[in-house]
Amino acid sequence: MIIAPRIFLLALAAAPLLLTGCVPETGVAKGTAKSPQATAPTLKLSAPAAPANAQAAPPAATPATPQVQAVIDAVEVAYQSGVSNYHAGKLQAAKADFDRAVDLMLSSNFDLHNEPQLHDEFDRVIDAVNTLEMEALKQGNGFAPKIEPAPVDIANDVTFPVDPTVKAQAIAELKTTQSDLPLVINDPVAGFISYFSSKGRGTLMRSLERAGRYQAMISAVLAEEKLPQDLIYQAVAESGFQPQAVNRSGAGGMWQFMPYGVYGLNRNGWYDERFDPEKSTHAYARYMKVLYSQLGDWYLAMAAYDWGPGNVQKAVERTGYADFWELYHRNALPKETKNYVPIIIAAAIMAKNPQQYGLQSLTPDPPLVTDTVTVDYGVDLRLVSDLVEAPVQEIADLNPSLLRMSTPTDAPFELHLPAGSKDLYQKRIAEIPVDKRNQWRFHKVVSGDTLVTVARDYHVTPSEIAFVNQLEAGEDLSSTDSLIIPVPPAPSSRARLTLYKVEHGDTLVTVADRFNITVQQLRRWNHLTAAHLEPGRRLYVAEPARVTRSSRASSKRKVSAATKHKTPSRTSSATRAMTKNGKET
């Protein structure tokens, strides 16, 4: 069974799942919460249809505390976004939203067992999402991206008769085929050439097309390790060049490493380097080098890669033959391993003779070229998508090792971006505080945008967007290029608010003490010069965004200020002040 690594595991690990068949289309029923009714867009024909028997759960007997209710409300926003994406046929985006909904509850610092309303919300979200995924599975591959079976998986279920004409042709062509592997033609190889020329033609074609994305990288790694270049065709048998392929036994990635073993690939709750094409290719090359040094034969090394070096060594000792084809004919190898090596040889021969095998129309995918930024902070891939103006699925595809829609918060990570977008990313990400990069969003203003419409799209209030971006309430956005959107985190009993409304009797000292910050930080973040605080004023009690303006916006603001009597340097002065003072210490 082929699956993708970004699966809904957090929920499975946290609580037993009950598939109730009750899928709310307008929201998960929750305690006493009163969230707006959400209407899913018209379902596209390509999207799985959601079950229609939606029911609302009865309200909880005891109202949730404000803090718990705030978590539930945030979960609802994420869940509703997922439902909308599901109905629009955007299954990957829907899965990301559903993952976020569960993450919000699991990371809220509340004990689900001691908070009945949150526990009920958790159960309902899990039930709803699993029912949606079951419906999606009936019509396709669920929430996971479609992965084709690798040739070696198909080969285990069928046999391929040898076509004498194909075999004779292959023997003739082999005389002029250049390879750094000892290619041979025999019945097993000819059988797979026949298969790839007929029923398996599409499988081979798509594999070699995908190979174009990674060929330059794999070639460079093989050259670095001084290995034969034609070992690249081993990836045809392993995964068909699919970085997120996972087989029935749990082996994953382009080179199908098992989750255990010492291959120099790291795995944790954030990423699995088996799914990183370049890092896994380095691991593959190192391992093949070791296997060849142990066995002294490339075909035995391939067999050992599939079956394990210990098993191959025992087969050699048992038969007395250190030759793959001798082991093959003496049935000293399992069926998969017997098919494995001939598949690789057949793929190599056909790829090197495209005219003879009708592959001349094959167009390899363009080479994968990316920019890479090493980040030491957590950043949500949806924010990355906003910043570089690329679809979120493209960002996810460029970073297949990530198991979540975020980079790690506690370790460096090499984030891959679309080619040419590194400078834009670094410029825009600098405007967002480090601790907000895994929740806030970035919005490029387009004609017709208003604070109200943008706020509605991101489920925040216009005043919050205005405050973070240093705008007046209701201000026209025609002179604004972009907005930072302060999407709230899941509040918890230990959460610290970003904004605080001054009350009667508050002083700089009492406010700073309440939020465990210094008076100097409070002054700097809010540009305070006086000691007195006016009741009703809102203050930053965490580092705000660093907002920059284009020259076009600045010139328009000056003209507007002259006619409306606004302070012309309000935005630029704030930006300069934050830049001068630097990051919080």
**The two three-digit tokens of residue 356, written as one number:** 């003879």
Confidence of residue 372 (pLDDT cuts 50, 70, 90): very high
483: left (phi over 0), alpha (psi -120 to 50) or beta: beta
pLDDT at 41 over 70: no
Query: Phi and psi dihedrals of 380, rounded to 5?
Result: -70, 135
Ranges 143-152, 176-185, 285-294: which has the least confidence: 143-152
pLDDT at 142 over 80: no
Q: What is the pTM assigned to this prediction?
A: 0.65
CATH topology of domain 151-352: Lysozyme (1.10.530)
pLDDT at 64 over 60: yes
The predicted pLDDT at position 161 comes to 78
* Dist CA 352 CA 188 (whole Å): 19
**The two three-digit tokens of residue 438, written as one number:** 């895994």
The predicted pLDDT at position 25 comes to 34
Residues of the chain with CATH 3.10.350.10: 370-498+542-581
pLDDT at 551 over 50: no
DSSP 3-state assignment of 539?
strand
Instruction: Please tell me which of 17-31, 272-286, 520-534 the model is most confident about, judged by mean pLDDT.
Output: 272-286
Mean pLDDT of 138-151: 64
Residues of the chain with CATH 1.10.530.10: 151-352
pLDDT, tens digit (0-9, with 9 covering 90-100), for 262-303: 789 999 889 999 999 999 999 999 999 999 999 999 999 999
pLDDT at 135 over 90: no
Mean pLDDT of 194-201: 90
pLDDT at 178 over 70: yes
Confidence of residue 409 (pLDDT cuts 50, 70, 90): very high
CB 138 within 8 A of CB 158: no
The predicted pLDDT at position 246 comes to 85
CB 333 within 8 A of CB 315: yes
pLDDT, tens digit (0-9, with 9 covering 90-100), for 214-261: 999 999 999 999 999 999 999 999 999 999 898 878 899 999 999 888
* Dist CA 373 CA 422 (whole Å): 7
Comparing 47 with 367, which gets the higher pLDDT?
Answer: 367
309-319 and 298-307 helices, crossing angle to 10°: 120
Residues pairing with 532 in the sheet: none
Closest CA to 350 of 152, 214, 177, 187: 177
**Residue 387, H or E segment:** helix 381-388
Within 8 A by CB and 6+ apart from 17, the residues are: 11, 126, 127, 130
Comparing 267 with 47, which gets the higher pLDDT?
Answer: 267
**Residue 483, H or E segment:** strand 482-485
Mean pLDDT of 536-553: 67
Confidence of residue 421 (pLDDT cuts 50, 70, 90): very high
The predicted pLDDT at position 10 comes to 37
- CB burial of 100-137 (b: ≥16 within 10 Å; e: otherwise) equals bbbbbbbebebebeebebbbbbbbbbbbbbbbbbebbe
CA atoms within a 13 Å half-sphere pointing along the CA-CB vector of 96: 19
Instruction: Kindly state the percentage of the chain with pLDDT values over 70.
Output: 76
Residue position matching structure tokens 């205005």: 466
Within 8 A by CB and 6+ apart from 261, the residues are: none
pLDDT at 371 over 80: yes
Confidence of residue 81 (pLDDT cuts 50, 70, 90): confident
- Mean pLDDT, the chain, rounded, equals 79
pLDDT at 359 over 90: yes
The predicted pLDDT at position 558 comes to 41
The predicted pLDDT at position 548 comes to 54
pLDDT at 574 over 70: no
pLDDT at 385 over 70: yes
CB 152 within 8 A of CB 302: no
351: left (phi over 0), alpha (psi -120 to 50) or beta: alpha
The predicted pLDDT at position 105 comes to 83
Helix (H), strand (E), coil (C) string for 292-342: HHHHCCHHHHHHHHHHCHHHHHHHHHHHCCCCHHHHHHCCCCCHHHHHHHH
CATH topology of domain 370-498+542-581: Membrane-bound Lytic Murein Transglycosylase D; Chain A (3.10.350)
Comparing 504 with 177, which gets the higher pLDDT?
Answer: 177
* Dist CA 464 CA 499 (whole Å): 9
The predicted pLDDT at position 254 comes to 97
pLDDT at 89 over 80: no
Which DSSP state fits 374?
A: E
Mean pLDDT of 305-334: 97
**Residue 370, H or E segment:** strand 370-375
The alpha-helical segments, DSSP class H, found in 179-297 are: 187-196, 201-224, 234-238, 277-295
Which DSSP state fits 81?
A: H
| Amino acid at the residue 534 | E
pLDDT, tens digit (0-9, with 9 covering 90-100), for 554-570: 444 443 433 333 333 33
Helix (H), strand (E), coil (C) string for 153-192: HHHCCCCCCCCHHHHHHHHHHHCCCCCCCCCCCCHHHHHH
pLDDT at 148 over 50: yes
